Amino acid sequence: MFGYVMRRLFATVPVVLVVTIIVFSLIHMAPGDPLTLLLSEDANETTIKLAREKWGLDQPIYVQYLNYLSILVHGDLGMSFKYGDPVVSVIASRMPATIELAIAAMIISVSIALPLGALAGARPNSWIDNIGSSIGFLGISMPGFWLGLILILFLSGTLHLLPSSGRDSFGIADAPITGIYLLDSLINRDLDQARDAITHLAMPALALGINMVGMLMRVTRSAMIEIMHEDFITTARAKGAPEHRVIWLHGMRNALIPVLTVVGLELGTLLSGSVIVETVFAWPGTGSLLISAINSRDYPLVIGTILAYTLIFVIINFVIDLLYPLVDPRIRLA
């Protein structure tokens, strides 16, 4: 088990390295001098000279790269032009919003997709399978951001049920503890804030999660169809277990393994999706930060955000890897 954890940990290193290489190469491949990218327009002579030294721009390329790595490791991502603050703090302030959104989307997806997929797989060709499979299909074909727009159109525009953008109404959120509004409000037992957080979270989370719902539903369904034909299912029935028990405790429990694999794979999609969904809903997370940074040519911020995303991604994947031993005893003990 320990070996497994270590192995997964080490596996993350190449990914991070490759991303830094890619970013580094892109900085140099972009039209123009790297300096124009990385420094704001009103940088004076001294700043430019210092930067040139710091990044060793007159040195051979691999030295520059190593230089770059050491700068990164020190947590120095530069200064944002737009905000005038260190990139690190800008990103840090927006990160919790994205995490909240991603987690909410995952929870919604899993709660819809898993039960539906399990029932659809346990009873193929039934009405529930037809509905479930259709939802699954729709889910993977749906452009998530379009769903967001349509939701805004109906739920905000026509029905006035939910707010159309933003994360909170007029700064209701105060005294943030984790930065995740919903959690904070529950910790603070502030029901108004909680309700406000949920109404703002609902649509973006659904728009973000819809693709995952589709994918997850289909995988759960096909895993269940296979599993329900296994011998141990017959054994369970022979023991006199009622069908619902057979489906959930025996069938679904085993289907969790391939399902977890897919959740891990789809995580990347979820993260990239957040960039768009945050833009649609003006959700103040790192996704919308990235887009506005690109639009204002604030390259240090762009680079910083991309690296931050990589880090989040790698961490979440690692966490999911850690979940495997929980659902599959063969990994836990082997």
Residue 171 beta carbon to another protein: minimum distance, rounded to whole angstroms: 24
CA 181/CA 194 separation, integer angstroms: 7
In the shown chain, the binding pattern of residues 161 to 200 toward another protein, with x for contact by CB under 8 A and - for none, equals: ---x------------------------------------
Token pair of 97, please? 């919003």
Let me know: does 52 contact 58? Beta carbons within 8 Å.
yes
Considering only residues 291 to 310 of the shown chain, the ones binding another protein according to CB under 8 A are 291, 294-295, 302, 306, 309-310
Q: Which stretch binds another protein (CB under 8 A): 62-70, 99-107, 108-116, 222-230?
A: 222-230
Nearer to another protein, 194 or 259 (CB): 259
State the nearest-atom distance from the C-beta of 29 to another protein, in Å.
Answer: 7
CA atoms within 13 A on the CB side of 274: 31
Give min distance, CB of 115 to another protein, in A: 19
What's the min distance (Å) between Cβ of 234 and another protein? Answer: 6
Report 115-144 residues binding another protein (CB under 8 A): 124-125, 133, 137-138, 140-144
Site for another protein contains 242 (CB under 8 A) = yes
Take residue 260 and report the two structure tokens written for it. 């977890």
CB of 138 to another protein, least distance (A): 7
| Separation CA 334–CA 34 (nearest Å) | 50
Query: CA-to-CA distance for 310 and 302, rounded, in angstroms?
Result: 12
Told to check if 160 binds another protein by CB under 8 A, we report no
CA 304 distance to own-chain centroid: 17
| DSSP-derived 3-state class of residue 124 | coil
Q: Which of residues 41-70 bind another protein (CB under 8 A)?
A: none
Site membership for another protein, residue 71 (CB under 8 A): no
User: How near is the Cβ of 141 to another protein at its closest, in Å?
Assistant: 4
Q: Given candidates 81, 145, 181, 283, which one binds another protein under the rule CB under 8 A? A: 145
Contacts of 146 (CB under 8 A, 6+ apart): none
Binding of another protein at residue 276 (CB under 8 A)? yes
For the chain, the maximum distance between any two Cα atoms, rounded to a whole number of angstroms, is 83
Does residue 311 interact with another protein by CB under 8 A? no
The yes or no reply on residue 206 touching another protein (CB under 8 A) is no
Q: Contact between 222 and another protein (CB under 8 A)?
A: yes
- CA separation, residue 138 to residues 133, 134, 208, 211, 214 (Å): 8, 6, 14, 8, 7
- DSSP label at residue 159: S
Cβ 85 to another protein shortest distance, Å: 20
Q: What is the CA radius of gyration of the chain?
A: 24
Fill in the amino acid letter for 237.
R
Q: Residues 8, 27, 88, 188: which binds another protein (CB under 8 A)? A: 27
Alpha-carbon span 243 to 116, nearest angstrom: 16
